[in-house]
Amino acid sequence: MRDSHEHAAARLPYRHVHDFLIGGDARPADGEARTPVVDPATGVAWGSVPDADGAMVDAAVAAARGALPGWATTPPSERASALRRMADAVERRAELLAITNSLENGSPLAETGGAAANAAGILRVFADMAWFLERSDVRVFPNGADETVVARDPIGVCALIAPWNFPINLVVIKLAPALLAGCTVVLKPAPTTPLSIRFLVEAAAEAGIPAGVVNLVTGGAETGDALVRHPDVDKVAFTGSTPVGRRIAAICGELLRPVTLELGGKSSAIVLPDADLDAMSRILVRSCLRNTGQTCYISTRIIATEANYDAVVEMAAATVGAARLGDPLDPETVFGPLASYAQRDRVRGYVRSGIAEGARVVSGGDVPAPFPEGAFLVPTVFADVRPDMTIAREEIFGPVLTILRAESVDEAVAIADDTPFGLGGIVFGRDEDAAFDVARRIDTGSIGINFFASNHHAPFGGRHDSGLGVEYGIEGLSAYLTPQSVHRRRR
């Protein structure tokens, strides 16, 4: 595996970089601090990036501020055309982007291979929303004599902070609406996935988006903190953990700065007595353990009633146990390594916690991974999980599935809602009207009937500890706009 990964890395245009992308130029780092990029499948450091200090953050924000007037006054239809050209440019970089992403965080090619197409799709969907910015919105006063023109202006310079699990798509769902709205941006990827995002900046330049509209800095928590606190940033959008999101929310609250937060989850899949378990098995990994369990909205808690509990356990154990764990660059791999050794050790701690608290291992468990190196963990399914167990309450963010028992559908709903999170969820049942009624009882931002997927036209966001605000849809675009009401006499 090591040799093949080193050969793959040698093909990549971005490995050890020494600059930031600011104002349309490659700006050399002026400090010595660097962050290595480590392949979690082999443990080999194959790339590195510089850490941006306060001066570089200042330069990136200044470039975005300088580009704002020109981009904000560009007609929405022209901005939309630029997004469509950028979508084409991203798709042309699909293969190298996917390999870079897989070598950064261990996501299988089966996952990263679709990142460019998905990103392009998001860009095109938002491009098609230009009508929202170009329409005339006139509202008559209650007295009928006067009227108000509601205009929408770009909110300004935006700090977009991406996570490591889906480093491309989870920044594009921020970047696309920001650009269409007329905002300028500073991107900061997660420290472990700083290279794949360069393909986006490259594609933006190729699309003719003016210099300074999209800027990129890299670094760790100090860089992110400097960006969030910067006095010339008008909005922050962040995807990541709930603890970090709380800190960002506190800073933005102090500064009265708008913020969108897409945070953690502990979503549930309720299996109704009439559920089609064969159909469920075909989408189980995608819906409940996607990206080796490193996905915020997946339903890692399965809640089944007595009517089919044993059959659900048997199906889940067989499905997860049969899915290939292996080389993320093998297109047949379903589960790759965890994104880092630290993440592997954290998830292993949860597996051991489940065993210690009395959950029953039906697949995997605290067993050695079949590879001599890398951050691999054997995917694990627990049965007989009680709602008070640690593995049933805390976000694990790894390939660990818990199956809980409910005496009734009402109890299943109560268990699903017994969490501080509220991000995703699924209800499985043959009677889709009945499943819909159950879904409407769950206190969560998004939920699916017999499947889960993000609809780029519909809002996606969490409730409670899962975040603030939404992304996607007109609602996601509106997060990058600030309205102005202009009152006038009716003609």
Single out the catalytic residue among 262, 288, 395, 471.
262
Q: Which residue out of 202, 288, 296, 471 is catalytically annotated? A: 296
Of the candidates 191, 188, 106, 35, which has an alpha carbon nearest to the alpha carbon of residue 398?
106
CA-to-CA distance for 67 and 65, rounded, in angstroms? Answer: 5
Helix axes 94-105, 76-91, angle to 10 degrees: 70
Q: What is the largest CA-CA distance in the chain?
A: 78
Active site residue 158: no
Beta strand 380-385 with 448-449 is unpaired
**SS3 state of residue 335:** strand
CA distances from 343 to 106, 196, 374 (A): 12, 20, 12
- CA dist list (Å): 397 to 60, 241, 257, 347, 349: 32, 10, 29, 7, 12
- Judged by DSSP in three states, 34 sits in strand
Please state the three-class secondary structure of 159-203 as a single string. EEECCCCCCCHHHHHHHHHHHHHCCEEEEECCCCCCCCCHHHHHH
Instruction: Please give the backbone phi and psi of residue 344, each rounded to the nearest 5 degrees, phi first.
Output: -60, -45
* Residue 288 annotated as catalytic: no
Instruction: Please list the active-site residues.
Output: 262, 296
